[in-house]
């Protein structure tokens, strides 16, 4: 069999994860590339998880793994938090879909209203993708304008309107392309560099857009981090030009702070999109914002233009039950504090380990995110809010070597860690022992990569 990853790592991986290999054989005849989400694709095969609890998950071969996916960011409280399990168990026998209004949707919406500063009104969706789609449609109806200003590298879900420029390459000469997205959609998008207030202000002045949309703390959960001063500046610029500001808090909402990134920065956007932690680990999203904007969803509204919004599973009671239970814990502020603290420990521990092994890798990130750069040759790291490459998005937001990426993830899995590509997220269930075990596992994975000749130590 030809090697997909590297000699030693791949043969050990096949040996340790045999049941996953067998399941993947079935999957390739069923799903394109055998997976149901792009990020879950792994060479030579992804792992199949059997069950999960707290910060750990167990695969079909009984391998115990410290999880840094955390439900793609949805599980701030860890897997199967007792309050969430109890709430969904209670609800499942009562109704999974009443096909009617129900009290839990009020309970859920009221929590959002209480916790999120911009949430004068709320509308539930099934996902974050739907929430951002709804936000820009609302902005277009209210303003009568078509254009949208978005930032290069910011991810807002996979729909046509906002997927362009969500990932590298950010090449000013060649421009952005996206298979299947029409020229008309590109024509309505104005893409500006992240963290560039002047460029954003100029784009607003030139294009008079329906809205500006910004991803919480920056490109794909902070690959290119945003600082509060930038968002405060953007709020000021958009307010002065009477432009709608949408803050996409699908990942930062309820995670970085109980009131989201907007509470951390002390700003109030016009509309906010949320999902993930909102629904306590079940599917669900929402748009929240100014009452006069969300009014377009109301019948007989003053604009005389009703935005259509059906959706079979909107405000699903199981998601509402899980969401209410999770948000009650989140509201204490403790989950964000613990997750942020544990991620900072992982970041500094990794940087110490990379330095001691003479490997030119670096870890950085804000809040509960941990980003890794392999092959970093710049200055630093210095302190926990340090950003590599001086924050230059063209150097920070790049695609790393694919073969190394797959080998890295396999090497980590062999050492008890399930890492999400080049990044990971902590939860409040990650204990000090988990952090210690993670640092040891990472060190062993680095040794494997060196032994297989994929990276070099000084």
Ligand X SMILES: Cc1ncc(COP(=O)(O)O)c(C=O)c1O
Residues near ligand X, by CB under 6 A = 72, 127-129, 132, 155-157, 215-216, 248, 250-251, 275, 285
CB of 273 to ligand X, least distance (A): 7
Nearest residue (CB) to ligand X, 277 versus 448: 277
Q: Prior bond to 175 cis, omega within 30?
A: no
Q: What is the phi/psi pair of residue 226, to 5°? A: -100, 145
Quick check: helix, strand or coil at residue 292? helix
Nearest-approach distance from CB 452 to ligand X, in angstroms: 31
CA distance 185 to 179: 12
Least distance to ligand X, CB of residue 86, Å: 24
Spatial distance between the Cα atoms of 458 and 55, rounded to a whole number of angstroms: 33
Classified as helix, coil or strand, 214 is strand
**Per-position DSSP letters for 149-213, written without gaps between them:** EEETT----SSTTT-TTSSS---TTT----TT--HHHHHTEEEE-TT-HHHHHHHHHHH--SEEE
322, 81 in Cβ contact below 8 A? no
Query: 381: cis peptide before it, omega within 30°?
Result: yes
Nearer to ligand X, 142 or 275 (CB): 275
- Cβ-based nearer residue to ligand X, 125 or 415: 125
Residue 73 or 374 having the CB closest to ligand X: 73
Quote the least distance from Cβ 162 to ligand X, whole Å.
8
Q: Which residue is nearest to ligand X (CB)?
A: 128
CB of 224 to ligand X, least distance (A): 13
Nearer to ligand X by Cβ, of 63 and 252: the residue is: 252
SS3 223: coil
Q: Which is nearer to ligand X, 131 or 448 (CB)?
A: 131
Q: Which helix (H) or strand (E) holds 134?
A: helix 128-143
**To the nearest whole angstrom, how small is the minimum distance from the Cβ of residue 79 to ligand X?**
18
Cβ-based nearer residue to ligand X, 59 or 248: 248
- State the minimum distance, in angstroms, from the CB of residue 10 to ligand X: 29
Cβ atoms of residues 255 and 294 within 8 Å: no
Q: Which is nearer to ligand X, 157 or 194 (CB)?
A: 157
Question: If we measure between CA atoms, which residue out of 91, 90, 108, 74 comes closest to residue 324?
Answer: 108
Instruction: Say how many C-beta atoms besides its own lie within 10 A of residue 166's C-beta.
Output: 20
Instruction: Write down the least CB distance from residue 274 to ligand X, Å.
Output: 9
Number of H helices, E strands in the chain: 16, 14
Closest to 262 (Cα-Cα) out of 214, 204, 222 = 214
């Amino acid at each position: 069999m030809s090697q997909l990853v590297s000699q030693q790592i791949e043969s050990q991986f096949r040996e340790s994860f045999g049941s996953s290999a067998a399941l993947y054989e079935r999957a390739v005849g069923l799903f394109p590339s055998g997976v149901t989400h792009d990020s879950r694709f792994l060479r030579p095969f992804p792992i199949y998880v059997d069950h999960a609890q707290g910060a750990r998950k167990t695969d079909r071969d009984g391998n115990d793994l410290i999880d840094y996916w955390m439900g793609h960011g949805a599980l701030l409280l860890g897997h199967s938090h007792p309050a969430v399990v109890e709430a969904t168990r209670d609800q499942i026998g009562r109704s999974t879909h009443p096909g009617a209004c129900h009290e839990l949707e009020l309970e859920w919406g009221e929590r959002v209203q209480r916790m999120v500063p911009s949430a004068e009104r709320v509308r539930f969706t099934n996902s974050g993708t739907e929430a951002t789609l709804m936000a820009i449609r609302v902005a277009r109806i209210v303003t009568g304008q078509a254009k949208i200003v978005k930032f290069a590298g910011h991810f807002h879900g996979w729909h046509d309107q906002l997927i362009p420029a969500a990932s590298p390459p950010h090449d000013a000469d060649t421009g952005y392309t996206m298979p299947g997205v029409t020229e008309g959609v590109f024509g309505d998008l104005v893409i500006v560099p992240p963290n560039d207030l002047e460029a954003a202000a100029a784009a607003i002045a030139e294009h008079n857009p329906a809205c500006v949309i910004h991803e919480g703390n920056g490109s794909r959960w902070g690959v290119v981090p945003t600082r509060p001063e930038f968002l405060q500046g953007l709020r000021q610029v958009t307010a002065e030009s009477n432009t709608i500001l949408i803050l996409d808090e699908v990942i930062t909402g309820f995670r970085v702070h109980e009131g989201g990134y907007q509470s951390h920065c002390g700003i109030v956007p016009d509309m906010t999109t949320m999902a993930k932690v909102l629904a306590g680990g079940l599917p669900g999203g929402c748009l929240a914002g100014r009452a006069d904007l969300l009014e377009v969803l109301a019948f007989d509204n003053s604009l005389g233009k009703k935005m259509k919004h059906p959706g079979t599973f909107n405000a699903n009671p199981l998601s509402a039950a899980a969401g209410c239970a999770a948000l009650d814990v989140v509201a204490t502020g403790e989950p964000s504090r613990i997750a942020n603290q544990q991620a900072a420990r992982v970041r500094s521990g990794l940087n110490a380990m990379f330095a001691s092994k003479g490997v030119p890798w670096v870890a950085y990130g804000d809040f509960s995110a941990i980003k890794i750069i392999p092959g970093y040759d710049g200055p630093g790291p210095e302190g926990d809010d340090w950003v590599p490459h001086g924050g230059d998005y063209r150097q920070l937001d790049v695609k790393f070597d694919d073969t190394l990426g797959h080998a890295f993830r396999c090497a980590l899995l062999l050492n008890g860690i399930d890492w999400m590509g080049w990044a990971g997220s902590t939860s409040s269930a990650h204990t000090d022992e988990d952090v210690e075990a993670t640092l040891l596992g990472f060190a062993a994975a680095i040794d494997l990569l060196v032994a297989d000749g994929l990276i070099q130590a000084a």
